[in-house]
Amino acid sequence: MIKAIFYKEWIKMRCFYPLSALFLFGATAYALLRVQRVITFKGAAHVWEVMLEKEVVFIDILQYLPALLGVLLAVVQFVPEMAQKRLKLTLHLPFPQWKMILLMSGIGLGALALLFIVQTAVLWGYFHALLVPELVARILLTALPWYLAGLTLYLLTAWICLEPTWKRRLANLLIAVGVCRIFFLSDTPQAYDGMLPWLALLLVCSLFFPLLSVYRFKQGCQD
């Protein structure tokens, strides 16, 4: 049954996922080419100087991409469950319902995490050759809340998509927008270092939000 669920989710993601990977790594390549252009014309020392004096990390163009991909992947995964009325059939499969939803969400989270890990490895590999470890860590720690935002918004979007009534969907959307804002309050490098445990806790809590929508669906809530 677990293999069947994996296959079902892959069928839904099979077109979007490669495109999202190309988009993410295309944007990453563009960001790194911008850095390389600065190095070509002004030297690596200029990159150091700008990072230390102007609090710049050179990858700000990537800031909102994880959140965007998280939202889109959830839409690809969960809108068909409601629009094509698959959720009722899915919940009648011989598998615990809460495990089913957590597994579906886990597959999406794993797919996103894989993209984010590979992107982080690319960034580390490039900057490791140019900068001291402290500055590389500064770049990656600045990006970490962006990745947490992508994973959290994936779950919140799933929560919205699985909600059976439009009135509650709109309320959920407003909550999701407010949560999203938390991750982007400051552009200062490493501004969120002290909040990372709380952002991680928010991510864990969001894991259970889709279960609330499924519970309402099972209770017969509808427009």
Q: Is there a domain that residue 50 lies in?
A: yes
Q: Is there a domain that residue 193 lies in?
A: yes
Q: Is there a domain that residue 74 lies in?
A: yes
Q: Is there a domain that residue 223 lies in?
A: no
Both tokens of 47, joined, read 């990159």
**H or E segment and range at residue 18:** helix 16-42
Q: Is there a domain that residue 46 lies in?
A: yes
Q: Is there a domain that residue 148 lies in?
A: yes
CA–CA separation, 206 vs 133, rounded Å?
33
Instruction: Work out how many domains the chain is built from and give that number.
Output: 1
Q: Is there a domain that residue 68 lies in?
A: yes
Alpha-carbon dihedral sign for residues 72, 18, 81, 102: negative
- At 141 the pLDDT is 95
Which letter, b or e, does each residue of 17-53 get, where b requires 16 or more Cβ atoms within 10 Å of its Cβ? beebbeebeeebeebbeebeeeeeeeeeeebeeebee
- Owning domain of residue 38: 2-218
Q: Is there a domain that residue 154 lies in?
A: yes
Both tokens of 117, joined, read 């890990």
The per-residue pLDDT string of the chain (223 residues; one tens digit each, 9 = 90 and over) reads 778 778 888 988 999 999 999 999 999 999 999 999 988 888 877 787 888 788 888 899 999 999 999 999 999 999 887 776 767 666 666 777 788 889 999 999 999 999 999 999 999 999 998 888 999 999 999 999 999 999 999 999 999 999 888 899 999 999 999 999 999 998 888 999 999 999 999 999 999 999 998 888 877 777 6
* Phi, psi (rounded to 5 degrees) for 55: 55, 55
